[in-house]
Structure 1
Amino acid sequence: MRKLTYFIATSVDGFIGAPNGDGDFFYSHLDAEFVGHLAAEYPETISAQARVQLGIADAAPQRFDAVIMGRNTYEPGLKQGMTSPYGHLPEQYVVSGSLATPPDPQVRLISGDLAAQVRELKARDGLGIWLCGGADLATQLIDEIDEIIVKTYPVFAGTGMPMSRAGFDVRLLELTGVKTFGGGQIISTYAVRES
């Protein structure tokens, strides 16, 4: 059974974006060591356009062969003409109740009972499923998430979009890995413990 992994960038104070959802402020805090690690260990999580710039356009997926993103996460790339931001993955899903047809043949739309559809995807053979964002999508799928990988950037935002809007309910996690970088970034990996 495939795992659903919430792989997300966050500020030190737990925000994945500005109040309007924009996460561009993270990109000013990248260094070669951190980018190199992402390119080697998580190449499939780098957009097709950035993969070309990094010289890893043909890099095989390491952990994920499917991505699920919300409409708000998909929209900024779509406005820039990226209709298939992760076309190097066999499965790209956009959760939307407003799109009638996908803007690209490689993108599949999900609407209706999201949790049931994700359980169906998890039951298929393959690598893991990357939950790309955002907060509302993580909230809807909170009980389906098997693993959380947090890329913490050395910034304090003060306010913004949280990692989830699920409300207070303690969910136990097991720390399974930590990697630190000279630029101040930290990648923490957590398995969701059975309650």
Structure 2
Amino acid sequence: MGNVVYGMHASMDGFIEGPDGGFGFTEPAEDVHQAANDQVRRCGAFLFGRRLYEAMEKPWTEQLGQEGAPAVEREFARLYKETPRYVFSDTLQSVPDGVTIVRRKDAASVVERLKREVDGNLEIGGAELAGSLVDLIDEFLVYEFPVLVGGGKTYLPVESEVRLRLV
């Protein structure tokens, strides 16, 4: 049975992107990158919103992880490519092998099915996708970076109060 996990890098004031849309402040140190690799080993599938998918796909399948890159990056690229990826989008028309397009209207039913069928964590990537599926998320992770950016895209955009249970 899959466990839906939403984890994102964020500033200490709760933003995953700064006011200019940049997220360079989340560049991980090697030990943080190694922790991400360890997390991906427990991952049964990635569930991405379109924008995060586009930010991740090409770099990790074509550019990063190449000869000469740090070992931690090469390992992440290998793990990334081996993990099934689902991109939730109404605009994408095609994706490479290893990636499945899910239309937004089908999002909840697909995630519920994946929870039943996939062993390992179902890692949600993308604040808007997580906000739309908040009732299906089993675990929230915030990887806080020691920076204040003063505005931008929040870690989890929701329209009303959502009560959570601390575990």
TM-score band, normalised by shorter chain = 0.7 to 0.9
Give the 3 Å change call, closer, same or farther, for CA 33–72 of structure 1 in structure 2. Answer: closer
Aligned equivalent of 1:65, options 38, 44, 47: 44
**Counterpart amino acid of 1:34?**
V
Question: How far, CA to CA, are the matches of 2:16 and 2:61 in structure 1?
Answer: 21
Aligned position for 1:16: 16
Instruction: Report what 1:182 is aligned to.
Output: none
Q: If each structure's helix is expressed as a fraction of its own residues, which one has the higher value?
A: 2
Provide, for residues 90-144 of structure 1, a one-character-per-residue CA deviation record: whole Å limited to 9, x for no partner: x211111011221x111110103211111011011411100011x2111111111
Task: Supply the distance in 2 between the matched residues of 1:92 and 1:137 (Cα, whole angstroms).
Answer: 14
Counterpart for residue 178 of structure 1: none
Contact residue 138 and residue 163 of structure 1 kept, 8 A? no
Percent of pairs with identical residues: 30
| TM-score, scaled relative to structure 1 | 0.69
Runs of 5+ consecutive residues of structure 1 not aligned to the other structure: 45-60, 176-195
Cα separation, 2, equivalents of 1:33 and 1:78: 22
Report the secondary structure of 2:82's partner residue.
Answer: coil
Q: Secondary structure at the match of 2:149?
A: coil
Structure-to-structure mapping, 1:126-137, within 5 angstroms: 126-133=119-126, 135-137=127-129
* Deviation (angstroms), 1:168: 2.5
Aligned length: 151
C-alpha separation in 2, matches of 1:95 and 1:170? 23
Matches within 5 A, 1:18-33: 18-19=18-19, 21-27=21-27, 30-33=28-31
| Cα distance in 2, alignment partners of residues 125 and 153 from structure 1 | 31
**1:8-51 CA distances to partner (integer Å, 9 max, x unpaired)?**
11110110112354322211xx4344334334x32x2xxxxxxx
CA distance in 2, matches of 1:76, 1:171: 31
Match of 2:144 among 129, 149, 152: 152
Cα separation, partners in 2 of 1:21 and 1:131, compared to 1, 3 Å: farther
**Residue in structure 2 matching 1:118, options 100, 111, 115:** 111
Aligned equivalents of 1:81, 1:2: Cα separation in 2: 24
Q: Secondary structure at the match of 1:155?
A: coil
Q: Structure 2: where are the runs of 5+ without partners? A: 63-76
Q: 2:33 aligns with which of 32, 35, 40?
A: 35
TM-score, normalization: structure 2? 0.80
